[in-house]
Structures are given as structure tokens and as C-alpha cells.
Structure 1
Amino acid sequence: MPRIRFDRVEKSFGRTLVLPPLDLTLEDGEFTVLVGPSGCGKSTTLRLVAGLETLSGGEIWFDDRAIGKLEPKDRDVAMVFQDYALYPHMNIARNMSFALRLARQPKARIDSEVRRVAEMLNIAHLLERKPAELSGGQRQRVAMGRAMVRDAGVFLFDEPLSNLDAKLRARMRTELAEMRDTIDKNMIYVTHDQIEAMTLGDRIVVMNEGTIQQQGTAEDLFANPVNRFVAGFIGSPAMNFLDGEITGDRVAGDGFDLLLPAPLARRAEAAAGRRVEVGIRPSHIVLDGGAPIDLRVVVSEYLGAQSVLVTRCGAAEMRAEIASEDRIPTGETRRFGILTDDIMLFDRETGARL
């Protein structure tokens, strides 16, 4: 498994620069997730590794080997696509073995590898069927199996679960997590779903407009986002943001006035008198304790063990996450509490966290 290094990698389509100079190193054996909104450059990055797009600048290295000019077949990568990309006229066994047959591997080895991977993915009983006879989840397993039989050094996944329904997507996340722990390979996984990213990634790389905003573990990104974009993208329900102004050791705005905890107040001294955005996680809004804030409940979303309340703070919308047994009628204004030790402040102009 190679160490993968992006050295000032660029990609342009015509005059449009979609991937500014990108520097990134992926360690041997890592499961790396590239996550971000549509158009942020994550799939383009993956396709550059696969050789499906040509570099406009820079180089990609596998250990000490430059691969930017190599043909896809010479890169020792296997890719799983969003749309499965199975051959409809071939049965599952022949779909999975296609690359091995193309490489003229011995039939005994081909049969053994296909059977081994099919049993790992629980699709051995489907080997004689055609793709049209399978469900979406089964087709996705076949697509993963076709990549795995190649025994490549690098596996690439381009939003492989986006076509599945919510229940099947959750199950496939579990299966991917199990596969990650049993196969010692480099894996790069692209998704716009931050739950997939937080569930699967050893390392998560958050991208926006072609640039890396932050990278780290799910815990790092959730607890210590470096800017407003990362804070708002990582976490479900998403972080609330309120416009405010810092005065001394307080931050106030439409409908709220909060005393800052001492460590945050010291960091915010340089921003005194400036407009900021106050970041509050829905789970840090409580019914008892904390700094008081009056919120009007607009909608209550029952989710089983928890409910998400859509509320109003002045003109701003806020979401609060509470236990479902704590019923609050819609239309009611209720005093909540903010756990101020957990709030974050962001510069309104740059988005950087104070």
C-alpha cells in the first residue's frame, strides 16, 4: 500500500480552475474521506488519482513513484462508482472477474478470488444472476466486490451509497466499516454526507471550492472546527449561528445576551466591538441550567428518543435537541438555557474561529 502525496495538484476545465494548488498526504493503510458540498472538487480529486482526469499542474506520488502521466491500468487502483457501472449482459461472477480475465489470470485463481470476495460480501449465492435481478444494495456489493478481487494497492469510492434509500445506506455504512477493519488497504472515499464521513473515516478532509478547509478525526472536526464552514458542515443537526457583537465579556444580538466564559472572553478581547457569529450546537441548548434565552417553538420534529425543536430567537432560526418526553407545544415561547462553555465565535468577515 503506497503513501499517497498530492504535490501542488491543480485541475482546470478550460479557463475555469476547479482545483487550486492542493497539497495533501495520505498515510499507508488509511481510510480517508473527502467530504464537502457539490462542486467542491472532491470527485475531481478522486478521478485525478484514478487517471480518469489529467493533471493541469503539480504531481501525485505513490511513495516515490510519480503517477500523473500513467495510464489508469498502470496505477494499481480499483474504483467503485456511484452508478455501479456493471455490465448488464454478464452474470455477477463474470462482472466481478472482469479485470482478472482481462489480465489473463489463471482460471483457478479467478474462481478462487471471486468466491472469496463474494463470501466476504455475502453475495456468493448471487453469482449466477444478472445485475437487473439484484436490488440496489446487492448491486453496490457487486461493484465493491469487482474492485476488491483486483487486490489493488488503493481503493477509490465515489459516493457509492448515494443511490440507496436511508435504511439500506445505514446498513451499507456498517458493512463498509467492517470491511475497512478487515482489509489493510489505502482507501479514499468521496461523499457529501457528513454522517458517512464521521462514521467511516480514519481521517476526514473537509473541502470547499477546491480548497481543504480542515482535516482530522471526526472528534477533532466536531469539537475544534477552524472556521464557520467546517462548524456548520460537521454535525447533525447542524450548528446554529446568531449574529452578535462583543462588548467586554459579553456577546449580544437580537433576542440574546450571553456572558462569555473566561477562556473565550480572553480570546475575544481583540474582537471587542466587532460583529461576530455565535455558534451553538443544538445539543448545547437545554431545558434546565445554562445561560437563559427565550425561544419561540415553531416546529417539533419527533425522532424517537429525541426531538428537534425549530425555534425563533429574534428573527433567526435555531434548532434545539431535547429528549422526546419533554413535550413543548408549538407556538409556545419557552425559556431555555445555553451551555456557554461550548459556544464558539466566528469572525463575520473571514469566517475564522476566534
Structure 2
Amino acid sequence: MPEIRLQQLVKRYGAVEVLHGIDLQMAENEFTVLVGPSGCGKSTTLRMVAGLEAVSDGDILMNDASVKNLDPKDRDIAMVFQDYALYPHMNVARNMSFSLRLKKTPQATIDKKVREVAEMLGLSPFLDRKPGELSGGQRQRVAMGRALCRDAGTFLFDEPLSNLDAKLRGQMRAELAVMRQSVKKNMIYVTHDQIEAMTLADRIVVMHGGHIQQQGTPSELFKNPANKFVAGFLGSPPMNFLAAELKDEDGTLYAIGDGFALTLPTDLAERARKNAVSSAILGIRPSDLEYNAAGSDTASIDLNVVVSEYIGAQSVLICECGNARVTVEIKSETPIALGETLRFSVRPEGLHLFDHKTEDAI
């Protein structure tokens, strides 16, 4: 399992530069997820690692050896594509064993490997079926099985679940997580779905506009986003953002805006004072607002309920705070009425500040 490094990786299509000097190091046996909106450069990065796109500038290193000029077949990688890319005339067993047969692996070894991988992925009953006789989820498992049979040092996944419906995507996500525990390989996974990123990754790399915005563990990025983009991209429902002025009164720093005045926790207040911030964007996650009719004025915010979305054990409220919209997560049994103004306590650790010009975290 090689250590993979991208050094000042640049990709241009003619005069248009779509990747702007990407630096990234992926440790051995790490599940790295590249996540971001469409057009951010994540799939291009993956295809450059695979050798399917040429490198314009920079380098790709595996165990300190450059591979940027190697053919895909010489890079010790296996790739799972969004559209499965299965041979329709071959059954599951032959699709899975294709790379082994190309290498003229002994038939006994092929049969053993296919049985092992099929058992792991729950494909044993389907080995004699053609892809057209399988469901979308089963076909995706066959595509994964083909990669696993190849036994490469690095597995690349290019949005493998995006063609599946929501329920099946959730099931496949769970199967991927289980497979990850038994397959000790480098895995680089591309998705635009932040839930996939949060649930699968050892490390998330958030990309936007051809740049890496932040990288780290899911917990690090969720709790300490580097900027407003990362804060708004990770988390469902997304973080709320409110324009605020910061005012210091009697040693206490307040964030004051249209319809709210909140006391900032000590560590956040110290950072704001150190950076001489007078106005900022205040970020609050929906899960960090808690219904509390008796909450204090300086640790609470009053919201007028506009819409209530029932999603089972939880409900999502869309509320008004002055001229802004604020989303809140509450337990569904909480008694609320549309048009009602409710008071919500704000967890101090759930407050974030972002510079209103650079949008970097304060």
C-alpha cells in the first residue's frame, strides 16, 4: 500500500486552469474522501491519480516515486466508476475475474479469489447472472468486486453511489463501511454527498473552485470549519449564517444582529478581540439550537416558525429571525404551531464567526 502524494498538481484544458496547485498527502491504509460541489475538480484529481487525465504541472508520487508519466495499468490501482462499466455479455464471475484472466492467473487462484470477494459482498448467489439481470445495487457491488479481485494497492471510487436511489444509497454506504474494515487498502473516494463523506472517511478533503479548502477528520471539519464554505457544505441541514456586529460591554463580547443579541463564549471572544473584528458572519448549526421557553436573553434567540418539516423522530423548522431564515432541528413531539415565536437556547460551542470579507473562520 503506497503512500500517495500530490505536489502542486495543476490541470489545464487549453487556457482554462481547473486545478490550481493541489498539495495532498494520503497515508497508507487511509480512506480519503474528496468532496465538493460539481465542477470543483475532485473527479479530475482522481482521474489524474488513475492516469486517465494527463498532469499539466506538478507531480503524483507513490512511495516517493513519480507515477505521472506511467500508464494506468502500471500504477497498481483499481477503479470503480459511477456507471459500473461492466461487460454486459459476461456473467458476474467473469466480470469480477477479468483482470486476473488478463494476467493469465491460474484458474484455481481465480476461482478462490472470486469466491472470497463474492462472499464478502453478498454476491455468491449471483455469480452466473449477467449484469442486465441484476439491480443497480447488485451491479455496483459487482464493480467493487472486480476492483477487489484485482488486489491493487490503491482503490479509486468515482461517485459510485450517485446512480442509486436514496434508500439503496444508504444501504450501499453501510456495506462500504463494513467492507472498509476487512479490506486494508488505500482508498480514495470522490463524492458530492457530504453524508457519504462524513460517514465513510478517515479523512475528508473539501474542494471548491479547484482549490483544497480544508482537510482533516470528519469531526475536525464539522466542529472547526476553516471557512464559511466548509461550514455550510458539511452538515445536514446546513449551518445558519447571520450578519452580526460585535460589541464589547463590561468585558463581555456580544454578537448583535437583526433580531438577536448573543453572548460569545470566552475562547471565541478572545479570537475576535485578537483579530480586532467589529463585524462578522455568525454561524449556528441547526442542531445547536435547543427549544427553551425560559432561556436567558443573552444565550437565546427568538424565532418565528414559518415551516415545519416532519421527518420522523426529528422535525426541521424553518424560522424567521429579522430578515433572515434560520433552520432548527427539534424532536418531533415538541409542541409548536406555525406562526408562533419560540425561544431557542444556543449552545456556546455551537457558535462560529467568519470574516465577512474573506469568509475565513475567526
Task: Say whether the fold is shared (TM-score over 0.5).
Answer: yes
How far the C-alpha of 1:262 sits from its partner, in A, is: 2.4
Cα distance per residue 1:169-226 (max 9 Å; x no partner) = 1111111111111111000011111111111111111111111111111111111111
Partners of 1:19 and 1:151 in 2: CA distance: 30
CA RMSD in angstroms comes to 1.2
Partners of 1:37 and 1:233 in 2: CA distance: 9
Give the corresponding residue for 1:268. 272
The more displaced of 68-77 and 256-265 is 256-265
Give the corresponding residue for 2:92. 92
The DSSP-based 3-state class of the residue aligned with 1:18 is strand
Structure 1 position 327 matched with structure 2 position 331: no
Aligned ranges 1:311-326 → 2 under 5 Å = 311-326=319-334
Aligned ranges 1:142-157 → 2 under 5 Å = 142-157=142-157
Partners of 2:175 and 2:322 in 1: CA distance: 44
Q: How many residues align structurally?
A: 354
Partners of 2:279 and 2:100 in 1: CA distance: 61
Give the corresponding residue for 2:244. 244
The more displaced of 91-100 and 337-346 is 337-346
Aligned ranges 1:222-301 → 2 under 5 Å = 222-248=222-248, 249-270=253-274, 274-288=278-292, 289=295, 291-301=299-309
Partners of 2:335 and 2:170 in 1: CA distance: 28
- Give TM-score scaled by structure 2 length: 0.95
Cα distance per residue 1:84-124 (max 9 Å; x no partner) = 11111111111111111112212222222112111111101
The DSSP-based 3-state class of the residue aligned with 1:149 is helix
- Structure 2 residues without counterparts, runs of 5 or longer: none
Identity %: 62
Q: Which amino acid aligns with 1:40?
A: C
Give the corresponding residue for 1:3. 3
Partners of 1:263 and 1:25 in 2: CA distance: 31
Cα distance per residue 1:295-327 (max 9 Å; x no partner) = 111111112111110101111111011111102
The DSSP-based 3-state class of the residue aligned with 1:70 is coil
Provide closer, same or farther for how the CA distance between residues 273 and 123 of structure 1 changes in structure 2, counting only shifts above 3 A: closer
How far the C-alpha of 1:32 sits from its partner, in A, is: 0.6
- Structure 1 residues without counterparts, runs of 5 or longer: none
Q: Hey, which bits of structure 1, 4+ residues long, moved more than 3 A?
A: 270-274
How far the C-alpha of 1:273 sits from its partner, in A, is: 6.4
The answer to whether the 8 Å contact 1:246/1:271 transfers is no
How far the C-alpha of 1:286 sits from its partner, in A, is: 1.2
Partners of 2:195 and 2:349 in 1: CA distance: 25
Q: Which amino acid aligns with 1:162?
A: S
- Give TM-score scaled by structure 1 length: 0.97
The DSSP-based 3-state class of the residue aligned with 1:39 is coil
Aligned ranges 1:110-121 → 2 under 5 Å = 110-121=110-121
Partners of 2:348 and 2:178 in 1: CA distance: 38
Partners of 1:25 and 1:58 in 2: CA distance: 14
Q: Which amino acid aligns with 2:272?
A: A
